Every structure is written in C-alpha cells, then in structure tokens.
Amino acid sequence: MEMASSIAKSIDVEAYERFLENPERNTDYWKIRKSLNEAKHHIAALYVYTLSFEDPTSRPKVMIAGFPLDDGDYYDIGMDCLVPLDQIKEAYAGHPYFTGKINDPHYGEYISAGAPIVNKTGETIGFLSIDIETTMLDRIDHTVVKNSTLSFILSGLLIIVLVSSFMLIQKWYNHELKKQVDDTEETYHSEIHSLIQSVRSLRHDFANHIQVLNGLLKLGKQQEAIDYSNSMREEAQLLYKIPIQSNNPALSVLFQTKSLSAQSHNINIRFHNSNASFELIQPTDLVKILSNLIDNAIDATKQISKENRSIEVYCEKRNDEYIFRVINSGSEISKEELTKIFIPGYSTKSGENTQVRGQGLYIVKQIIEKYNGRIIVESLNGKTSFEVRVRV
C-alpha cells in the first residue's frame, strides 16, 4: 500500500487529468504509461495501472497500464478490473485498499493494493493500483523467515559467546585476584615471621645483658656495670635507628624489618636508595625480590666473624633501568654452585630447612623473567653480589 501511494504521488496529475478528458492513446497517455512501466520494473510488480470508479457497485475500469511502449494492443482503455466489491467501496470513498488473494484463470494468483490519485484541489481523480504475484510474496516471506532464522541463530550464538566469555573472564579475574591476595599474604606473613624471629633474638640478648648487669652489681662492680649499660645504650640507639626512607612505602617497611633482622645478628647493613618510586613493579614482587636477596645475604654473612659482617643494598633508577643490588661479605660461591643456585630446592646452606630456603632465588628468577629483566651474580674476593636489572 505504501508503494502504491508513493507511485500515485509521482504521477503527472495534470497530464492524467487531460488524458481523462479525452481517454485515448495520446501523448499524455504514453507519457504516464511509460512512467507506470518503469515503476512496475522498479518494484518487480505483476502490473501497475490506474483505475476509474463510476460507482461503488460496478467494476472499476483500467485506464492506463504500465506496459512497454511497443505492446500497444495488450489491453483496451476502460476494460473491467477484478477488484472485489469490498475494496471497490473503500476506493470509491477515497480510501486506500488492499485485497486478499485473487484467483484469475488468465493472470494467476495475485493480490492488489491501491491508493488514490489526488489533484491539486484535493479531489480524487482515480486510483493507482499494484498487482503482486503471491509466489513473489511467498518467496519474500521465505527469504525473510530464512534470514530471520539465521539472524536469530547468529544472535543466539553471539549471546552464548558473550556470556561464556564474560564468565571465563570473571573466573580468570577471580583466580588472578585470589592468587595476588595469596601472594601478598604469603609475602607479608614471611616478613612478619622474620620480624618476630628478630624480636625473639633481641629479647634473648636483652635477657643476657640484664643477667650480666645483675651479676656485676651483686659483685659490687658498679663502674663496670655503668660501662656495660652505656655500651647497651649505644647498641640500642644503633638498633632502633631508622634506615633511609624510600618513595616506595613497601620498600620503607622492608628496609626497617631487614635492618632489625640484620642488626640482631650483629650485621652492619646499609641501604642506598634513590628517589625512584619503582611504580612499574608490583609492590609484592619488589618485596619478594629484595627480601629473598637480603635474607640470603644475612644467612651468608652471619657465618663469618662479627667484625667482618656487612651488607650493602642499592635501589636506583639509572636511565631506562631499575637496578637492585645486594652485596654481602662472606664465603664465596663456587663456579659450580653458581650454575645451580637458581634451581628449585637447591641451596648453598646446610640444615633442615634447605628445601624450603632453596626456593628463594628460584622465586626471584621467576619474578625477574616476568618483567623481562636479568640477574647478574658475582662472587669473588670475599664479596658476593646479586644485581637485578629491569628495563622500564
């Protein structure tokens, strides 16, 4: 019906009115017939034609039909049309119409739709009708249903893929979140355990100092007791001296705990830290790297005499690299051991916890590889150095 209305509005109404005054195959007739034929091919209709209605009870007349110009004798002007009576009444009242299926022995099965042709004064001067084969409509319906089914299937598959992807991403996110939480808890539990061990060691030393002072006082050696207490005070001031601060909060805490741990073993530890915040490395990874390296340095250093125990820790950003270096005094690592120290479970230390402590350097190596970094180990002249470099 929309197509009929569109074609009706495109007709040269003045030419059609002149034709109706003299309904013959004149210039106006051929002009309109050509335009109707073009419209028929454009919309793939069976027929496109104009109708004239005399009254609501008689058959409408075909005035101009859209046929090729060389098909001049195909129909007569004013021939009867098979539009049903109900649609004739609608058309006569000036309303668009739409028929059901019409069975014609000559033209076959089709449906018809019509729209009024209105002149400039608003008067209905005829009707523009379109006949469309039902087989074409069936093909259109089949195509629409087929395309709709395909679209429905594709939409369903897309929804399934999106929902599945969302669930997988959510599952992966929850797994990664839990993994990071577990890693964080493990890292800080380890540091807290190390801190508790240091406090226990200090408490044991403090108890020994009190016993010595008590013994000196009982023996009446007051000056010796005063000298001993002064040395204890100096040691306490050194013990609670806060290490160099860092722009990375995790490093500041780590420096404090490792300083306490080292000093409980009479190790002189010094931290050299630049103003870099090292924000491109996750805090837990940064703590794991330095904590394991410093723990290994403490374990190695406490094996030698107290006066030679020292550890140097460097954290800096140089050009486009983060550089972390831990240097400790102590026994050198042999060339054979250097090839094995990053193997899981291997340790240069002996004792019951060898398998546990032997994981430290392996963990460090894994983290460094995650950031595409590298680790350089040197051990000579009574010094061992572990240097980590990460490009940023």
What CA–CA distance (Å, rounded) separates 277 from 275?
6
- In this predicted structure, what is the pLDDT of residue 352? 46
Helix, strand, coil share (%) of the chain residues, nearest 5: 50, 20, 30
In sequence order, the β-bridge partners of residue 272 are 314
- In this predicted structure, what is the pLDDT of residue 375? 95
Q: Which CATH superfamily is domain 241-391 in?
A: Histidine kinase-like ATPase, C-terminal domain (3.30.565.10)
Classify each residue of 127-156 as buried b or exposed e, where b means 16 or more C-beta atoms within 10 Å of its C-beta: bbbbbbbbeeeeeeeeeeeeeeeeeeeeee
> pTM of the entire structure?
0.49
Query: Strand 310-318 relative to strand 268-273: parallel, antiparallel, unpaired?
Result: parallel
* DSSP secondary structure code for residue 334 in this structure: P
Longest dimension (CA), the chain: 149
In sequence order, the β-bridge partners of residue 112 are 131
Residues of the chain with CATH 3.30.450.20: 2-134
The DSSP code sequence of 215-282 is HHHHTT-HHHHHHHHHHHHHHHHHHTPPPPP-SSHHHHHHHHHHHHHHHHTT-EEEEEE-S---TTS-
The DSSP code sequence of 119-187 is -TTS-EEEEEEEEEEHHHHHHHHHHHHHHHHHHHHHHHHHHHHHHHHHHHHHHHHHHHHHHHHHHHHHH
Averaged over successive runs of 10 residues, the pLDDT of the chain (392 residues) comes to 82 91 91 90 85 79 82 72 72 74 71 86 88 66 62 83 84 74 62 61 68 78 80 64 71 86 89 89 91 93 93 93 96 89 76 52 92 94 95 90
- In this predicted structure, what is the pLDDT of residue 321? 94
- In this predicted structure, what is the pLDDT of residue 314? 95
Place of tokens 């001296």: 241
- Token pair, residue 331, equals 């026994």
C-beta atoms surrounding 183 within 10 Å: 15
Collapse the DSSP code of 309 into the 3-class scheme (helix H, G, I; strand E, B; otherwise coil) and give the result. Answer: coil
Which element (helix H / strand E) includes 327? strand 321-329
What CA–CA distance (Å, rounded) separates 161 from 142?
28
- In this predicted structure, what is the pLDDT of residue 354? 42
Label residue 235 exposed, middle or buried (CB < 10 Å: 0-12, 13-18, 19+).
middle
Which element (helix H / strand E) includes 104? strand 102-104
Compute and round to an integer the Cα radius of gyration of the chain: 49
Domain 2-134 part of CATH 1.10.1660.10: no
What CA–CA distance (Å, rounded) separates 70 from 74?
10
Residues of the chain with CATH 3.30.565.10: 241-391
The length of the chain, given as a count of residues: 392
